[in-house]
Amino acid sequence: MRIGELAARAGTTTRTLRYYESRGLLPARRGENGYRTYDEHDLRLLRQIRTLQDFGFHLEETRPFVACLRAGHPEGDSCPASLAVYRRKLGELDSLIDELQAVRAEVGAQLARAERARDELAAEAEVPGGPEPVCELEGRTR
């Protein structure tokens, strides 16, 4: 198949395929007419790359999976190097989750402080002679 057909079947662009070729991930063979030609194996490689990228893997992280498929393995993630990339990515995700949970806790604590302050102002406003709560941003639009 030619580059346009491969791109269409994989749901990507010919520009992306040329980029993958330039990075050595998806080498193209050339027909007698000079056009790039691909086969079902190339489609499988491309789908593996795209799936990993959808999972958040960087393009360079897909190399072990591509090498595994090129070596004839039925799945690109069955080789030791691919498994190592999965493990490393899981570690990165765990760290990111920890960071996000810490940020979430801080935002939650700030929200609780803000709500307490609002409630205190509202309570003071109910006391005769207490301050009027004012929110300068209420009703504003961008």
Q: What is the CATH number of the domain that holds 43?
A: 1.10.1660.10
Whether pLDDT at 107 is above 70: yes
Task: Give a yes or no: residue 58 inside a domain.
Answer: yes
Domain count, the chain: 1
Q: Which of 44, 38, 33 is nearest to 75 (CA)?
A: 44
Domain assignment of residue 21, given as a range: 3-126
Q: Which of 24, 91, 15, 29 is nearest to 59 (CA)?
A: 24
Task: Give a yes or no: residue 26 inside a domain.
Answer: yes
Task: Give a yes or no: residue 29 inside a domain.
Answer: yes
pLDDT tens across 14-44, in order?
999 999 999 999 988 999 999 999 999 999 9
Task: Give a yes or no: residue 120 inside a domain.
Answer: yes
Task: Give a yes or no: residue 12 inside a domain.
Answer: yes
pTM over 0.85: no
pLDDT tens across 71-93, in order?
999 889 889 999 999 999 999 99
Pairwise CA distance, residues 14 & 27, whole Å: 13
